[in-house]
Amino acid sequence: MTSPASPEAPTTPKCLFCRIVAREIPATIVWEDEHALAFKDLNPQAPVHCLVIPKRHLVGIHHAGKDDVDLLGRVFHGAREAAELLGVSGTGYRLVVNQGEHAGQSVFHLHMHLLGGRPLAWPPG
């Protein structure tokens, strides 16, 4: 436990993305450092679609506390590194975090979508 606003354990055994971090479930890893991991989305919505996650389990952005701001910065950094590696830094890309029911969050381990490789419509649905 690292902050009162982050009650989750460092990893949660049954969490899908914690299991990807632990290499218990295969994923195409694009980039990683000590704190964050970027891997390709299983159901891509654009030519480039990967997910960037903190390695430590956090349910969502709304569960991140003040003590997590460095970790969140590392996730952003991972997204820009992955964008560079995937060749979309020149054409641009979109970073999206879905939080909760109305945003359609379906995996409850904080993740940032990196989407690119085609023009992206705005506003989103």
State the residues that interact with Zn ion by CB under 5 A.
12, 15, 17-18, 57, 109
Q: Select from Zn ion, ligand 5GP, none the partner in contact with residue 119, using the beta carbon and a kind-dependent cut-off of 5 to 8 Å.
A: none
Q: What are residue 112's phi and psi, to 5 degrees?
A: -110, 125
Q: Select from ligand 5GP, Zn ion, none the partner in contact with residue 18, using the beta carbon and a kind-dependent cut-off of 5 to 8 Å.
A: Zn ion
Quick one: which segment of 3-11, 72-80, 82-90, 99-107 binds ligand 5GP (CB under 6 A)? 99-107
The reply to whether 29 sits near ligand 5GP by the rule CB under 6 A is no
Q: Tokens for 61?
A: 């952005």
Q: Tokens for 30?
A: 């694009």
Q: Select from Zn ion, ligand 5GP, none the partner in contact with residue 27, using the beta carbon and a kind-dependent cut-off of 5 to 8 Å.
A: ligand 5GP
